[in-house]
Amino acid sequence: MKSGKRIMRHKWKIIFLLSVLSFLVLDNPEFFIQYSTKTNQRSQSIGSVSNGSLTNGIRLPYRGRNYKYFSKLSYYILNRAYANAKVYNTVIGAYKECEATCPHIFFRLMECSNKNGGRLFPHRTHQNGLSVDFMTPLIKNKKQYNTLDIIGIWRYLVNTNEHGQVTHHIKIDFDSVAKHILALDNAARQNGLRIKKVILKTNLKDELFKTQSGQALKQRGIYFVKHLSKTINDLHDDHYHIDFQEI
């Protein structure tokens, strides 16, 4: 009987230690998982964003001066932060420009592609390293509101109304979104790319284009998808999806 109790105590100790280790890995995976980030290689995006693959993809940095990847689980465990080298340079270059154009905004980078591309569930695109999601920055009382940015992959489930409001006091910072897309367009042109399309909830485009930077963005003629199924449309109120195209 005593022997059985000792065995049970040992089992519970093992379960406890494994639970602690699992927690540490999931909460601080950067200490346990190492990746190489090589920026001096040529990438190849094969096929389309919805049916393709990626060769020599480069993992985007987890953080920079004015941005951070939104989820450790997505970045370190699911391995979803890879992109074509041209997209890598475009994203980094755009954040650099935003240090000057919107210096008080801290951005969140969201999902990109798998290391070798292919299906990235539940996304329909993101398959060849030319697609990137960007979190919509929020403001409250004219200041950036970051509290909802720390919930990781659940940030994809935040909902807004047709005016981009999460609550009466919290809403999308449309001017900063416009400045960021302008910066991405500038950087894309410098890296042999163009913005093929932007997906943002169609009801929110009026709010975006009425801002000062949004008016400048509208004049660029960048294509914003006009017609989406209700499900896809509703899913793009908390982030903006951008597909790039090599030129």
Which pTM was predicted? 0.83
Domain 39-246: CATH class, spelled out: alpha beta
d(CA 198, CA 189): 16
d(CA 180, CA 163): 19
Question: 80 in helix, strand or coil?
Answer: coil
Average pLDDT in the chain: 87
pLDDT at 3: 55
Mean pLDDT of 113-129: 96
Q: How does pLDDT run across 49-74, given as a tens digit for each residue?
A: 999 999 999 999 999 999 999 999 99
Nearest CA-CA partner of 191 in 245, 134, 117:
245
State how beta strands 58-59 and 51-55 pair: unpaired
pLDDT at 148: 85
User: Six-digit token pair at 93?
Assistant: 């270059």
Answer yes or no: is pLDDT of 8 > 60.
Answer: no
Q: Which of 22-31, 104-113, 114-123, 234-243 is the least confident region?
A: 22-31
Q: Which of 153-157, 166-170, 200-204, 216-220 is the least confident region?
A: 153-157
Q: Which of 70-74, 144-148, 155-159, 197-201 is the least confident region?
A: 155-159
Q: How does pLDDT run across 204-234, given as a tens digit for each residue?
A: 999 999 999 999 999 999 999 998 888 888 7
Answer yes or no: is pLDDT of 98 > 60.
Answer: yes
pLDDT at 188: 98
DSSP 114: -
Phi, psi values for residue 124, rounded to 5°: -90, -20
Question: At CA 98, angle to CA 135 and CA 36, rounded to 5?
Answer: 70
* Largest Cα span, the chain: 80
pLDDT at 2: 54
